[in-house]
């Protein structure tokens, strides 16, 4: 008989297959594993161009005087900039020697699922700003797998991988927390 105990990484929620049977998962070992670690400098050009790309013409995103007049220390990041923040300002000499995790949980899980077919989608993403994110800040960040769970959708299964990235200023205070869902649909 198959063990029918739900995985703890699924918050105790049972897994159902399209046949209505409980599925045994192998995802618990990934919960809590690091996904990334590094240092970045918040740069003006990426912030300004990101605001332009999302058609936000507010002058605080392109003019330091306008930003200061609005109460910011410098040009602030547009609200969804956290989606692409790790693409900019990651200068090689700033990266910690242990920045690359020994394991790559996103590749192991999603790559393993993709080997069987299906497609990957970027699901919802949530940003919590603990303080304004502005040009010139030097941030350290760490990512971790928060949860992995499955949902049956007709004759398909959707696997959700939840990744949390936390960005801290030089004093160690949180600036931004990003929570992202990566979805595999079989």
pLDDT tens for each residue of 6-15? 444 444 444 4
pLDDT for the residue numbered 153? 86
Beta-strand relationship, 138-153 and 119-129: unpaired
C-alpha dist (Å) from residue 182 to 21, 24, 54, 136, 153: 24, 20, 22, 30, 16
Residue ranges per domain, the chain? 8-185
Q: DSSP label at 131?
A: S
pLDDT at 58 over 80: yes
Q: How far apart are CA 128 and CA 80, in angstroms?
A: 10
Across the range 129-154, mean pLDDT stands at: 95
Instruction: Please tell me the predicted confidence (pLDDT) of residue 106.
Output: 86
In contact, 62 and 46? CB cutoff 8 Å: no
Measure the CA dihedral 121/111/147/160, to 10°. Answer: 30
Percentage of residues of the chain with pLDDT beyond 90: 68
Sheet strands (E) in the chain:
34-41, 119-129, 138-153, 156-168, 174-185
Q: 112 falls in which pLDDT band (50, 70, 90)?
A: confident
CA 128 to each of CA 36, 63, 166, 177: distance values in angstroms, whole numbers, following the listed order: 19, 24, 10, 5
Residue 96 pLDDT more than 80?
yes
Is the pLDDT confidence value at 3 over 60? no
User: Does the structure show a pLDDT above 50 at 23?
Assistant: no
Instruction: Tell me the two tokens of residue 133.
Output: 């994110």
Q: What is the CATH number of domain 8-185?
A: 3.10.129.10
pLDDT reported for residue 145: 96
Looking at the predicted structure, is the pLDDT value of residue 18 above 80? no
Give yes or no for a contact between 23 and 15, defined as CB atoms under 8 angstroms apart. yes
How much is the pLDDT for 31? 94
pTM of structure: 0.81
Mean pLDDT, residues 167-186 taken together: 95
């Amino acid at each position: 008989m198959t063990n029918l105990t739900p995985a703890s990484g699924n918050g105790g929620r049972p897994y159902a297959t399209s046949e209505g049977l409980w599925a045994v998962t192998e995802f618990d070992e990934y919960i809590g594993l690091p996904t990334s670690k590094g240092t970045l400098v918040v740069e003006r050009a990426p912030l300004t161009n990101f605001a332009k790309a999302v058609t936000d013409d507010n002058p605080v995103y392109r003019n330091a005087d306008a930003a200061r007049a609005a109460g910011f220390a410098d040009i602030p990041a547009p609200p969804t900039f956290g989606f692409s923040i790790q693409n900019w300002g990651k200068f090689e000499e700033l990266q910690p020697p242990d920045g690359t995790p020994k394991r790559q949980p996103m590749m192991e899980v999603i790559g393993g699922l993709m080997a069987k077919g299906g497609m990957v989608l970027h699901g919802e993403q949530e940003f919590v700003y603990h303080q304004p994110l502005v040009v010139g800040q030097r941030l350290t960040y760490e990512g971790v797998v928060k949860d992995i769970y499955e949902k049956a959708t007709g004759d398909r299964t959707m696997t959700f991988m939840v990744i949390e990235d936390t960005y801290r200023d030089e004093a160690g205070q949180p600036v931004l927390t990003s929570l992202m869902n990566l979805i595999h649909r079989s």
